[in-house]
Amino acid sequence: MALDRPNPTPTADRPQHSKEHHHDHRARHPDDRREPVPPQDLSGIVGHRFIYTYANSWQYEMYVKNATTIDYRIHSGMVGGRWVKDQEVDLVRLSDDIYKVSWNEPTGTSVVVNVLPRQRVLHGTIFFPQWIEQDGSKTVLYQNDHLEEMRAYRDAGPTYPIYVVPEFARITLFEYVGENDESVVAVGPEELPRGFADRTN
């Protein structure tokens, strides 16, 4: 004998989980549909030169020549004396007064630098291939005159383990010098006037 079963709830009385209902739920979270790229006003960093010293005492100078290119000099540290022109970078504005500069070099080194100019704070992470940790002196030169040599060192390795150096830094000089000025970084650190990197503003 068949068991008596309760009649199923009529379709009209069942809760409706339609696409419209799901859409209404998402509508309560407008951030889910927000454009992920913030306004890219780079005027607060492009055309500026800044000198900064990491907590480990390494001192660097960066010139943001334009929105895609930097020049830099290393005044002290593991590869102090090295200088580079026309390094292609990815430069973005993350938020008000927060910029990120990232790049990969012919040596195989990768760098990510977050810059907060008004707060005079910087955080950089450098990813050195193993061959530079073993003998960084090979890179202490004007790199632009030795690009093929740097690539040959990179390809010969060893690459791993990567030597990761994450450090905070204090920006001691931040000045506008204009865009695409080849005279801003034109000589190596050793040729600069005494006290050049000690200037503050």
DSSP 143-165: GGG-HHHHHHHHHHS---S-EEE
pTM for the full predicted model: 0.82
CA distances for 52 relative to 8, 75, 149, 152, 182, angstroms: 73, 10, 28, 30, 21
Q: Is 180 left (phi over 0), alpha (psi -120 to 50) or beta?
A: left
Residue labelled with tokens 């690009």: 147
Tokens of 196: 């050049």
The pLDDT score that the predictor gives to residue 27 is 52
Collapse the DSSP code of 132 into the 3-class scheme (helix H, G, I; strand E, B; otherwise coil) and give the result.
helix
Collapse the DSSP code of 190 into the 3-class scheme (helix H, G, I; strand E, B; otherwise coil) and give the result.
helix
Task: Tell me the C-alpha distance between 42 and 98, whole Å.
Answer: 10
Are 201 and 173 within 8 A, CB to CB? yes
Are 168 and 121 within 8 A, CB to CB? yes
Q: What residues act catalytically?
A: 60, 105
Biggest distance spanned by C-alpha atoms of the chain: 105
Domains, the chain, ranges and CATH? 48-198 (2.40.128.20)
The pLDDT score that the predictor gives to residue 13 is 53
**Ranges under pLDDT 70 in the chain:** 1-32
What does DSSP say about strands 48-54 and 59-66: parallel, antiparallel, or unpaired? antiparallel
The pLDDT score that the predictor gives to residue 1 is 47
Task: Tell me the C-alpha distance between 11 and 3, whole Å.
Answer: 23
Task: Tell me the C-alpha distance between 180 and 70, whole Å.
Answer: 9
HSE toward the beta carbon, residue 165, CA cutoff 13 A: 19
